[in-house]
Structure 1
Amino acid sequence: MISRYKTENMEKYMDIIKEIAETHPHKVVLSNGKGEYKKIIFARKVLKGRNAYQLEKYTQTQVFHENIEEGRLAEHIAMHFPAEFKQMNAFSLTTDYDVKAGKKGNLAVSRRQAENKTILVGGNNRKKKYILDEGMDIPAFRELGIFTKEGKVVSSMYDKFRQINRFIEMVDDVLKTYKGDEINIIDFGCGKSYLTFFLYYYIVEIRHMTAHITGLDLKEQVIKNCNKLAEKCGYTDLKFKIGDINGYRTDRKVDMVVTLHACDTATDYALYNAICWNTTYILSVPCCQHELNKQIRSEELSALTKYGIIKERTAALMTDAIRGCMLEYCGYKTDLLEFIDIEHSPKNILIRRAVKKPVSEEKRERAKAEAERLCRTFGIHQTLMQLVLTEERSHS
């Protein structure tokens, strides 16, 4: 697997892999995969009374699990990094690592002191009280593999549990301004629909409102499974459809659009649909912004584009900045917020639009000019911006 890398380069990779393994990390994430697996997560557990690591190997459509002895962590990381994956993030009690494999065997390593935290290996840090918490009798959570039959969070699902609860907290905050007792929501790119089921339960069972929620995704089998589960749980107004975000149409008034890690430009089409529908609430956590990373260039600011990892992060931040500007240009009061601690997800920006308020022409034009200036500076074209401006020109 690793024979195509020069010996001296592999020594560098093995040095950092061994260094990470010696810190006994509670979590290692391999991402930016080029082969069969798109992501692999190593999570430290106590299995049969012994420390071990549980591997979650993600393909495009499935997740495979494997358990290994603690002492074989470095060996198993080296099986996949850097041959199959170009990004590695590791988290321990003392140090957090960000490692990126570049071209020609180049290696970029960032180390930072870990935040003060309590890690319960094989268990969960349950000090925080969540809106949807352990002990609640929620059949859908058990069926989705988030809760055990005793109502405890499955340890390997704890990061997902935190993410979804954080999203629900954001929804709870914006719904404080909502006056109706019925709400229509679309979840674009719903995937396995953890968020969609959480959201439905929260609105119907916690807020005691009527919710009509539609989850949209391209994967036929996933949609079939989600509809079966919704029917099994008696969630009559929770529906799932096969469809592309780009060009999706509905006759129903849409009060809220949500996306959680919709890939690349899928977020742009979701935001554009929300704009066209004059949606009251938008909550979007983007994912893998590849579009600008392929285009970005600047002679004057070459320091931001010459290093792969800096270029990647710059492109991601610019993508969300332009999205924010375009929402403001369309008259939306927009916030870009930290979604969740980067340890639990590197995709930690949430785009939120809570209420559409009158925005002065001056502020709208300023937002548009800021986005255009950014695009000129780096020689880029951004999908949401192109959609908005093309639509505007068609009506002028």
Structure 2
Amino acid sequence: MSTETVEKFWNTTRRAIHNGRLVKLTLSKPRRKDPTTPRNLYARPVEVKREQQLQVVHRYPDREEAKNYAYEDGLAYLRAQLQETYYNGDLFSLDEQLSIMQSRKGNARITEQAPQHREAAVAHNREKYRDIPAGRPYLHALGITSEKGEVTGAGRRKFKQINKFVEIIDGLVKEHPLPAGAHVVDMGSGSGYLTFALYDHLANTLGLDVRVTGVELRPQLVEKCRKIAAENAFTQLNFEEGYIDSYRPERIDMLIALHACDTATDDALYQGIQAGAEIMIVAPCCQKQVRRDMQVPADLKPLLDHGILLERQAAMVTDGLRALYLQGAGYDTKLFEFIPLEHTAKNVMITAVRGKQRAGAQEQWKTLKQRFGVQRHYLEELLNS
């Protein structure tokens, strides 16, 4: 009877996978207390390099490790794990929910429930993004969590920012996949907490073939980040000392520049445009260049004679022009709030994915500059140099 029960469970699993109906499969309740054994295994279909694979996440108390398999290889691995390492298995598909429970004596029974997931399509790359686990060791090394893997009071804001950032990246790369061997560059990586989370999500959670480089001017931060990367065996994550405008890698497939001050954001965008980056993400700050070079029209003086309003207007014009320059260079752009204002006042994010050149973008930026008396914009000067 136990053999028939196990066969039913795996036949149903195989059918769900090959019919594109699998949402997830979990194995739990280890047979032995062993610190080297994951607490549970979590499997789901993913798309890697345009191939459908089964990703198995090994969940330890202090970390997670992901590995991708061809469907049948993944099934064989999970079946062996259920036979040798775990007592319980839970299958969630769009059509049914099956649970298998095995006893120490070798008996097995199955329970069936109505499916909880009724989406029109399988979860492959549509599963809701999950937060970066607080138990990741690099988060403790960066001062965001305690030794027990708990987010500290001082690290709460950064942890929220990390997960919002990675959620945005997750959506972008699923809608606009990166090429194999993609080079991701974080311009002005600073203390590196976003860079580490980005690499962890792309390489370990999504299983993508990428290498990530953080570029930072301060040598002490570069050395600290290199040390943490080595301690976590992040072999394709590197940090380079240098200026944004002088870093010249052979290729940039994704460019990131968060809170690069004033025209440093323009330097980063120019680098990405010149390299033909597939995706660019920037969160500008300290947009002072346009403000200095604005000549406020007479009819707007009653509004913009107030310094704080002029500052905000200049920042909006600066970023609006950046979006138009990107569209003129062949990118589809979006501007939105990055994280709520209570976490940072510098909360506007611009995303750009490579697409088609937008007709009329040049006329629009000329009109905008004229309306607000903008004499020059640094990014436009770089593009015309």
Q: 1:334-369 CA distances to partner (integer Å, 9 max, x unpaired)?
A: 111221111111111111112x22235xx1xx2122
1-side partners of 2:195 and 2:214: how far apart? 7
- Which residue number in structure 2 is paired with residue 139 of structure 1? 137
1-side partners of 2:129 and 2:357: how far apart? 38
1:181 Cα shift? Answer: 5.0
**Structure 1 segment 97-108 matched on structure 2, within 5 A:** none
Letter in 2 for 1:156: A
State the number of aligned residues: 255
Does the 8 Å contact 2:283/2:346 carry over to 1? yes
* Counterpart check, 1:351 vs 2:350: yes
Letter in 1 for 2:183: N
* Counterpart check, 1:265 vs 2:259: no
**Structure 1 segment 176-191 matched on structure 2, within 5 A:** 176=174, 177-178=176-177, 180-191=179-190
Report which stretch shifted further, 366-375 or 305-314: 366-375
2-side partners of 1:180 and 1:327: how far apart? 21
2-side partners of 1:337 and 1:196: how far apart? 21
Percent identity of the aligned residues?
34
Give the counterpart of 1:372 among 366, 374, 384. 366
* Counterpart check, 1:292 vs 2:280: no
Q: List gaps (5 residues or longer) in structure 1.
A: 1-127, 391-396
- Which residue number in structure 1 is paired with residue 377 of structure 2? 382
1:315 Cα shift? Answer: 0.9
Q: 1:123-153 CA distances to partner (integer Å, 9 max, x unpaired)?
A: xxxxx9852133xx31110000111111111
Aligned structure 1 segments of 4 or more residues deviating by more than 6 angstroms: none
* Counterpart check, 1:243 vs 2:237: no
Q: Please give the secondary structure, in 2, of the residue aligned with 1:300.
A: helix
Does the 8 Å contact 2:162/2:197 carry over to 1? yes
- Which residue number in structure 2 is paired with residue 309 of structure 1? 308
Q: Please give the secondary structure, in 2, of the residue aligned with 1:333.
A: strand
1:296 Cα shift? Answer: 2.2
Q: 1:277-299 CA distances to partner (integer Å, 9 max, x unpaired)?
A: 11001111111111122222212
1:261 Cα shift? Answer: 0.7
Give the TM-score normalised by the residue count of structure 1: 0.62
- Which residue number in structure 1 is paired with residue 274 of structure 2? 276
2-side partners of 1:282 and 1:215: how far apart? 15
Give the TM-score normalised by the residue count of structure 2: 0.63
1-side partners of 2:295 and 2:178: how far apart? 47
- Which residue number in structure 1 is paired with residue 335 of structure 2? 336
* Counterpart check, 1:234 vs 2:208: no
2-side partners of 1:181 and 1:243: how far apart? 26
Q: 1:87-120 CA distances to partner (integer Å, 9 max, x unpaired)?
A: xxxxxxxxxxxxxxxxxxxxxxxxxxxxxxxxxx
1-side partners of 2:197 and 2:243: how far apart? 23
Letter in 1 for 2:131: I
Q: List gaps (5 residues or longer) in structure 2.
A: 1-127
1-side partners of 2:150 and 2:168: how far apart? 23
Letter in 1 for 2:293: Q
Q: Please give the secondary structure, in 1, of the residue aligned with 2:154.
A: helix
**Structure 1 segment 94-173 matched on structure 2, within 5 A:** 130-134=130-134, 137-173=135-171
Does the 8 Å contact 1:304/1:314 carry over to 2? no
